[in-house]
Amino acid sequence: MASSAKCAIREVAKDVWTFSCPFARFGLFPVGGRSTAVKLSNGDVWVLASSPLDEATKSKLGELGPVKWIIGADAVHHMFLGDFKKQYPDAKVIAVDEAIKKKEKEELKFDGAWGADPPDTKYGFENDIQHCYFTGFKNKDVAFFHPASKTMIEADLLFNLPAREQYSMTGSSGKFPVFGTLNPSMWAHKKFAWSLGVDKEAMKRDVKTVAGWDFDRIIPCHGDVIEKDGKAAWKEAYKWYLD
């Protein structure tokens, strides 16, 4: 992870903030990292925590309201969950079961687990944010939908590279070496989505659930925010499951 002081913070829609930071997978591939915070209708703050909790991030979250939900969106986006919980001890931490198992040595208390809880479990933020757990995806991702801003939020289900915004404060273009880009319109992204579907029937079910949501924007953890026509991008990236 590059210096967290180089994160770009902005309000992408009313009550929805992104924290976009440089991050290179294996220290080589600039995929970027991003946390997303949503101020709920009751004033509480929900955070998909996937980037460093630096001073600028703490300051902005403090302006938004009390952080009550800390979310781990899949099996691999768990690095900063403990840092967020230490800073916001009254918040509930919800993550996928695979991530929770990886955090056992940290003795981090979790308040919910996609993959271990009953599928119809309600965690308390559903009046503002819906969720769909992809049981058939290799990384066990959860997709989220904030109807008020028509925004879908996700970790590894969809990439929109290069990560321009996430590298915007570093002097780097954020371009992927050799390959250059990976976005929903590309054949390579369809192949990527298909290959990570370890249960194709479950994937078809969950891809259709997300396609039924009324969103226009997609906030990915990796790559630029898709500001409009997000549903079309989703359907294109997952076309092989929808045909």
Q: What's the pLDDT score for residue 169?
A: 73
Q: How far is Cα 11 from Cα 143, in angstroms, rounded to an integer?
A: 20
Task: Name all domains of the chain by residue range, CATH numbers in brackets.
Answer: 4-115+130-242 (3.60.15.10)
Q: What is the CA radius of gyration of the chain?
A: 17
| pLDDT, tens only, 97-137 | 999 999 999 989 999 999 999 999 999 999 999 999 999 99
Task: Specify the pLDDT at position 22.
Answer: 86
Put the strands of the sheet holding 67-71 in their side by side order. 8-13, 16-21, 33-39, 45-48, 67-71, 92-96, 112-114
Each residue of 146-167: pLDDT tens digit? 999 999 999 999 999 998 898 8
- Residue ranges in the chain whose pLDDT is less than 70: 1-5, 24-29, 171-180
Task: Give the pLDDT confidence score for residue 4 in this predicted structure.
Answer: 46
The pLDDT, as a whole number, for residue 182 is 87
Q: Which residue has the tokens 């691999």?
A: 76
Could you count the other beta carbons within 10 Å of the beta carbon of residue 200?
12
